[in-house]
Structure 1
Amino acid sequence: MAFTTVTTYEKPSEHVALPDWYSRLYELRQTADNKSRDAYNLRHEGRQLRNETDIKGKWDTYHNNVRLEDRVTEVTRWRDVLQQCLNSVDDEIRKLTEEKSTTERTLEYLNSPLSVIAESLAMRDARSGADLVQDEGDIEIKNELGVIEALKQMLTAKCQTAWEQLNRLKEAQFKLQLDLGNKQDAIDIDRQNLEMDKNCSGTSYKPDPLRIPKNCTPYESWLEHSRYNKLLADNEIAASIKLREAMYVVRERAYNDLKAQNDATDYALRLRVYETQRAKNELEWQRKKMAEEMAKVMREIEDLEEAHLNKTDGLKLAETRLENRIFRPGPELVQDEAQIGLADEVLQLRQTRQDLMDKINAAKATYNGLEELLLRMDSDLDNKNHAMMTDLRCIDIRKRLGMSDRAPPPTQTDVNIQLTRMEDEIPKS
């Protein structure tokens, strides 16, 4: 080691050789270049990833917004369709309820003819004697009773069917209302989601957003459910319309059948009144003839009794003469012509008196028979008067059937208006 005048200090560690120093510098430069290249690639990949994720996120959001809009449109369309069905169901419920009420009023209207028929039968049963007969009037009234009972059963069955149909319509109405409420809630939720963006304050992480709820249904099931509700409503509306038409036809047929039977019954009663009046007139004429004949018979009896009395006086005279001639004296007590003539006269007068008495008895028997027949005629006339008044009262009672809501219109114009169903079109004065 060389001798120096300056004191120097060196680290005790080993010094790096110059080639090693150049080698280390080269290594550092290579490492820096690699790191720079890696950093550049990282920045490039990061920028590319940012751009790709931004673009993908924007397009995903756009597509999901379109899907949400399409979903809102689809659900809104189904909501409008179901709302129209619900309106139709509500309108059909109203119409069917009115038709059912009209049919029930018709049933209540039939109670009036039933009371009239019962009163008519009771009144006609009050007839007496030979006029208590099973005539056409009784037959037609009982036929009318059968017609009304059949109509009541038919209308009652229609009312029951209408009540069941109303229940089905209300069930369809409830299902539509429930489905419409669910669809409206779904529309509101999806529209709220459409209004949200990534800068909204309400966004946050959720515990398990990818979970599928237990009651979640596939799209096909949802579509089938909506179609089922619409089809159910349409079917119930069609069935209700058919039922309303059937109820209208049955009700009109009931009115027509009842009107036809009423006319037949009224005709039978009027015919019976006519026949009773004709029989009454015949009996009155016969009674008048019978009374005249009785008066003639009475006068004949009086004449016969007077003749009998005259013959009695004549017989007394003839017998007295015969008795006086018995006291003729001696040979003068002879059977002469006078004696024979007086005896013949007595026999003839006795026979005449007997004939007259027989005739008087026969005349009295005839008079009694005529009087008994006259009493029977009087009783029969009373029965016929009572029967005719009964039928007339029945006809008056049955006039109440024409004072109901189903009475015929007073004028031909009203008839035409009713036939053409223009009541609602014509303004009321």
Structure 2
Amino acid sequence: MQASVVTFEKPLQHIGLADWNAKQWASQQTNDTRRNDAFMLRHQARQLRNETRIKTDWDTYHNNARLADRITEMIRWKDTLQACLNLINREVNALREEKFSTEKEFEALGIPISIVSECISMRDCRQGAELTYDDGDTELKRELCVLENVKKLLIERCQSAWEKINRLDEVKFKVQLDINDKHESIELDKDQLTLDKNCANISYKTDPLRIPSASIPYETWLEHSKYTKLLADKELEDTCKLREALFVIREKARNDIRAQRDYVDFILRKRIYEIQRARNELEWQQLKMREEMEKVGKEIQSLEEALNNKDDARKLAETRLENRTYRPGFELARDEAEIGLKDEVTQLTQTQQDIANKLNCAKATYNALEDQQVLIDEDLENKCQALMTDIRCLDLRSRLKSFDESTGSTETDRNIQLTKMEKEIPPT
């Protein structure tokens, strides 16, 4: 039978219904799988987004907390170091004041040293037997040694204070540098703490995970901060003792100088009393010596008169003997008259010899008294000169008492006061 419609089929292999059903089932399974995969992907993505958002928020929170804790820690260390710095500044100022007072005390020793030296030179101008190594000379030299020792000790203490101030300045520089670094770090971390993800000045950085070459571990930073604090405490440890030592050495120096000065004044007054007593004794001896010389002079005159008187008597007796030698004949006899006249001549000769010897002794005694009188006059002059020297020394040393040691005024300050130049000099 001939077909009325012509049909055409693709020149492809057609599948059967079973294959079509199988393909439909496979497509359905594939679609379900894809949807399930997409669902799982969306679920995992949402979960990842939530977890990463939460983790990012918590990481940001923890880092903010870490920054805040770090800022708090650095502020605490900064405050600690600032307290050390304030204490160092106070100690440095106090130590400089003590050093300045010690230097003024050291400069003020110039006046006592010059006075004592002048006293020693003045007493060295004594003459004769008064130029002795007496107690006054010994104590003046001892006072000069005391002043020199005090001066040397004050110089050593000032040197120690100067070295301590230099060490404190070095520590102060280190502490100040650490405080400045911490202050800058605190400000930097505070700026980082104010940043968030919505800020305009944030961007990607090149190699943000790099470690800076000057970076140090936290433990090293902590050790450095502790070392700086320990260094400051160690330097401040003996500063108070040094200031007390400066004060004590000044007071001890004043006490030693005052004690030695009072003792020297006592020795000089004692020496003046001894010289006055010796001078009075010499004046009495001089007076008695002059009286004795007058008596010896009168006795010499009496002996000379007596000797002259014996000359006439001797002449008379010798003349009688000579004249009786001219008796004639047997009248030239050695009678009692001749014997008596010879005895008289002999006695007069012996008497003249005795008077002459006594006169020579009297003249020798007078000469000895005169020589002793010269020695007494010279010794008295020396004692008067030594007495005036010690009195001038004692008067010169009165400047030490009028010198105000408590103010520690130097000779320059004294000259300024004497010349009324206080208003002319600008304040320092």
TM norm. shorter chain > 0.5: yes
| Distance of 2:367 and 2:392 partners within structure 1 | 37
2:390 pairs with 1:394? no
Partner of 1:83: 82
- Per-residue CA deviations over 1:374-419 (Å, capped at 9, x if unaligned) read 111111111111111221222222223223331699xxxxxxxxxx
By how many angstroms is 1:82 displaced? 0.4
Matches within 5 A, 1:298-317: 298-317=297-316
Partner of 1:152: 151
By how many angstroms is 1:289 displaced? 0.4
- Per-residue CA deviations over 1:335-372 (Å, capped at 9, x if unaligned) read 44444433333222222222211111111011001111
By how many angstroms is 1:301 displaced? 0.5
Partner of 1:343: 342
By how many angstroms is 1:14 displaced? 5.9
| Distance of 2:36 and 2:352 partners within structure 1 | 181
Q: Percent identity?
A: 55
Which shifted more, 63-72 or 120-129? Answer: 120-129
Matches within 5 A, 1:261-280: 261-280=260-279
Mark the CA change 1:2 to 1:384 in structure 2 (over 3 Å): closer, same or farther. farther
- Per-residue CA deviations over 1:290-321 (Å, capped at 9, x if unaligned) read 10000000011111111111111222233333
Mark the CA change 1:341 to 1:59 in structure 2 (over 3 Å): closer, same or farther. same
Partner of 1:64: 63
Amino acid at match of 1:236: E
2:160 pairs with 1:161? yes
| Distance of 2:191 and 2:133 partners within structure 1 | 84
Matches within 5 A, 1:24-43: 27-43=26-42
| Distance of 1:75 and 1:102 partners within structure 2 | 40
Partner of 1:113: 112
Partner of 2:122: 123
| Distance of 1:336 and 1:407 partners within structure 2 | 107
| Distance of 1:223 and 1:108 partners within structure 2 | 47
Unpaired segments ≥5 residues, structure 1: 410-429
| Distance of 2:181 and 2:241 partners within structure 1 | 31
Amino acid at match of 1:302: Q
Provide the secondary structure at the position in 2 that maps to 1:222.
Answer: helix
| Distance of 2:329 and 2:38 partners within structure 1 | 211
Amino acid at match of 2:373: L
| Distance of 2:108 and 2:240 partners within structure 1 | 24
- Give the conservation status (yes or no) of the 8 Å contact 1:402–1:408: no
Amino acid at match of 2:60: T
Amino acid at match of 1:111: G
| Distance of 1:2 and 1:290 partners within structure 2 | 205
Amino acid at match of 2:178: D
- Per-residue CA deviations over 1:116-162 (Å, capped at 9, x if unaligned) read 23222222222222222221112212222332333233333322322
Partner of 2:173: 174
Partner of 2:51: 52
By how many angstroms is 1:15 displaced? 6.4
| Distance of 2:126 and 2:2 partners within structure 1 | 177
2:394 pairs with 1:403? no
| Distance of 1:343 and 1:54 partners within structure 2 | 170
Partner of 1:185: 184
Partner of 2:96: 97
| Distance of 1:385 and 1:2 partners within structure 2 | 188
By how many angstroms is 1:260 displaced? 1.3
Partner of 2:230: 231
| Distance of 1:350 and 1:29 partners within structure 2 | 195
2:203 pairs with 1:212? no
Amino acid at match of 2:102: T
Partner of 1:196: 195
Partner of 1:250: 249
| Distance of 1:319 and 1:247 partners within structure 2 | 102
- Give the conservation status (yes or no) of the 8 Å contact 1:280–1:381: yes
- Give the conservation status (yes or no) of the 8 Å contact 1:104–1:159: yes
CA RMSD of aligned residues (A): 2.6
Mark the CA change 1:2 to 1:302 in structure 2 (over 3 Å): closer, same or farther. farther
- Per-residue CA deviations over 1:147-187 (Å, capped at 9, x if unaligned) read 23332333333223222222221221122111111111110
By how many angstroms is 1:9 displaced? 7.3
By how many angstroms is 1:13 displaced? 5.6
Which shifted more, 123-132 or 353-362? Answer: 123-132
Mark the CA change 1:2 to 1:66 in structure 2 (over 3 Å): closer, same or farther. farther
Count residues with an aligned counterpart: 408
Amino acid at match of 2:206: P
Partner of 2:72: 73
Which shifted more, 181-190 or 80-89? Answer: 181-190
Mark the CA change 1:346 to 1:214 in structure 2 (over 3 Å): closer, same or farther. same
- Per-residue CA deviations over 1:14-51 (Å, capped at 9, x if unaligned) read 66777666665555554444433333332232222222
By how many angstroms is 1:99 displaced? 1.6
| Distance of 2:344 and 2:303 partners within structure 1 | 19
Amino acid at match of 1:307: A
By how many angstroms is 1:11 displaced? 5.8
By how many angstroms is 1:2 displaced? 4.5
| Distance of 1:61 and 1:222 partners within structure 2 | 24
Ranked by relative contact order (alpha carbons within 8 Å, sequence separation 6 or more), the top structure is 2
By how many angstroms is 1:69 displaced? 0.7
